[in-house]
Each structure stands twice: as structure tokens, then as C-alpha cells.
């Protein structure tokens, strides 16, 4: 077990974990259009720049695990990666998205700064190993069916490929039908594996399949989950962010309205700051 405060380098100059600042992974659940994704990325980046928060843009090019066959999935691998590359180059920010099949990994690694393993697929050995072989940072989302202790086995799969660029993300645990609960113990337990840990404040309030043909969610609790995760030591925050959640094409009910982002991030910085023994954070 790699105990300690390992840090991971993302893109050109972002370092996460260890003693590095709180960071944000955020964006719309799915790429709805190039114009929409770029607009959101610009606004989120400006907020993060104002607060001094390192930012990684996230949006899915394909939502392969939607509740319904008729659900919007996104632009697909080729077009989606093209859009992500455009955002990356235009705004000079790192980007991430999730891979679902082995054959996607090589192409995705050419564009993505972080390869994300979806929660439902975190135990798929071949997919995890294929992603690890790229030597890119790998963000592994803990399956809602796993305990935080079980993540060691997945970490070992990545380490088997001599890749220590690992990020672990807590996103809630199944609690009966169509509901999730966030166990705050998951953060320190997974940090014990020695890698940066993220609290996904959006999916932790999701109600999977709760609307029959699509998932529900309690977005009003995103701030509470984010603050709780930060308070117990999360290195970063994952938030799905939208300018009009009620019209989002995926996960609108567990997306944060962008007009609430600044105040939430400012409060998280104050919490993080207090853990580091500082009283004031410049600009907050």
C-alpha cells in the first residue's frame, strides 16, 4: 500500500494531492454542443481563476450507461474528442472524459489529460489496465456497490502497469432502491491508499433511475456534500455544472446551477483553509 501524500501532475502545470490547493473537476454531464460546452468552460474557468482554484474541464462524449435506450448520449467518440480538444486548446485547460470500452482508450489518451473510469466499470480489469498502460492520470470513480476498502484492488491493477498517476473519486453508495448515501469515512479511508481523493458532490445526490426512464437527484444538497467531503480531507471536488439544469440533456436534477458556483467554491476554500491552519484566504 502506498501510504502518503502522493501528488499527481495534470496537464502542463497543475499538481493535485499532497499539499497542493483544492481543485475542481467540473462541467456539464454530457457534451450537448461545442458552443454550449465552450461557454460553460469559459465561465467556470473564470470563476476558478478568480478564486485561485486549479480547474479540469469534464464532459462526457458518450453517456453509455443511460437509463433508457432513447436517452441522449452525446456526440460520440470522434466528435466529442474533437470538441474537448478545441476547449483544451482555446482555454488552455486540462480536460477529462470517461471511457467505456478498451478500443476507446488509445484515441481518448491522445486528447484527454485525465482518463476517467466510470463507477459502473471500475472493476472491469481489462478497461482499467488498458487505461493504465497509457501512463496518463487515471480518475477511478468508486462504484456505488463497493466499499472504500475495495478500491485497493483497483489501485493495484493500475500500479501493475507502472502507473502511479491515480485519482480516486467517491460518488456515493447504494442505499436501498434509487438512492445513494455519502459515507464521509470513504474520504480518509481512500486517502490511506496514498493518492489524491475527490468528492463527487453531484452523483452523491443522484437517485439512479429514480424517474423511471432517467435518473433523479437532489441538487439542493450538492453544497452540503461538497463541504462535508472537503471537511474530511478531500483533495478535490467533482461537480456537474449547467447554466440551466432544468433543460440539461443528462443529469440535470443533480447538476449545480452555474450561478451558485462562486459562493460554493469560496465556502470550500474557507473550509480547506481552516484545515491548514489559515484564517483568511485572499479574495474569498
- Residue 256: how many CB atoms within 10 A of its CB? 22
Q: What is the pTM of this model?
A: 0.92
Where do the domains of the chain lie? 7-274
pLDDT for position 280: 46
pLDDT for position 278: 66
pLDDT for position 259: 97
**CA-to-CA separations, 228 to 34, 179, 252, 280, in angstroms, rounded:** 33, 19, 22, 20
pLDDT for position 82: 98
Q: Which of 189, 220, 190 is nearest to 204 (CA)?
A: 220
pLDDT tens digits in sequence order for the chain, 284 residues long: 344 458 999 998 999 999 999 999 999 999 999 999 999 999 999 999 999 999 999 999 988 776 667 677 889 999 999 999 999 999 999 999 999 999 999 999 999 999 999 999 999 999 999 999 999 999 999 999 999 999 999 999 999 999 999 999 999 999 988 889 999 999 999 999 999 999 999 999 988 765 655 566 789 999 999 999 999 999 999 999 999 999 999 888 899 999 999 999 999 999 998 887 765 444 54
Please give the CATH superfamily to which domain 7-274 belongs: Aldolase class I (3.20.20.70)
Handedness of CA 147, 236, 208, 80 (dihedral sign): negative
pLDDT for position 5: 58
Amino acid at each position: 500500500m502506498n501510504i502518503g501524500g502522493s501528488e499527481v501532475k495534470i496537464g502542463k502545470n497543475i499538481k493535485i494531492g499532497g499539499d497542493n490547493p483544492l481543485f475542481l473537476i467540473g462541467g456539464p454531464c454530457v457534451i450537448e454542443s461545442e458552443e454550449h460546452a465552450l461557454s460553460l468552460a469559459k465561465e467556470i474557468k473564470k470563476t476558478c481563476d478568480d478564486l485561485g482554484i486549479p480547474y479540469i474541464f469534464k464532459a462526457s462524449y458518450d453517456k453509455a450507461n443511460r437509463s433508457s435506450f432513447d436517452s441522449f448520449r452525446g456526440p460520440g467518440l470522434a466528435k466529442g474528442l474533437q470538441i474537448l480538444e478545441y476547449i483544451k486548446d482555446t482555454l488552455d485547460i486540462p480536460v477529462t472524459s470517461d471511457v467505456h470500452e478498451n478500443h476507446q482508450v488509445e484515441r481518448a489518451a491522445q486528447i484527454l489529460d485525465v482518463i476517467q473510469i466510470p463507477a459502473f466499470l471500475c472493476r472491469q480489469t481489462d478497461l482499467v489496465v488498458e487505461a493504465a498502460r497509457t501512463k496518463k492520470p487515471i480518475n477511478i470513480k468508486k462504484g456505488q456497490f463497493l466499499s472504500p476498502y475495495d478500491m485497493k484492488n483497483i489501485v493495484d491493477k493500475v500500479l501493475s502497469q507502472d502507473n502511479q498517476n491515480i485519482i480516486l473519486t467517491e460518488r456515493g453508495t447504494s442505499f436501498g432502491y434509487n438512492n445513494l448515501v455519502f459515507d464521509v469515512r470513504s474520504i480518509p479511508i481512500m486517502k490511506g491508499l496514498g493518492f489524491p481523493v475527490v468528492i463527487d458532490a453531484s452523483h452523491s445526490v443522484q437517485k439512479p433511475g429514480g424517474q423511471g426512464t432517467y435518473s433523479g437527484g437532489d441538487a439542493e444538497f450538492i453544497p452540503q456534500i461538497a463541504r462535508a467531503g472537503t471537511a474530511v480531507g478531500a483533495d478535490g471536488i467533482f461537480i456537474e455544472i449547467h447554466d440551466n439544469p432544468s433543460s440539461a440533456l443528462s443529469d440535470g436534477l443533480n447538476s449545480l446551477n452555474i450561478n451558485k458556483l462562486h459562493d460554493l467554491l469560496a465556502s470550500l476554500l474557507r473550509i480547506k483553509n481552516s484545515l491548514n491552519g489559515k484564517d483568511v484566504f485572499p479574495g474569498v
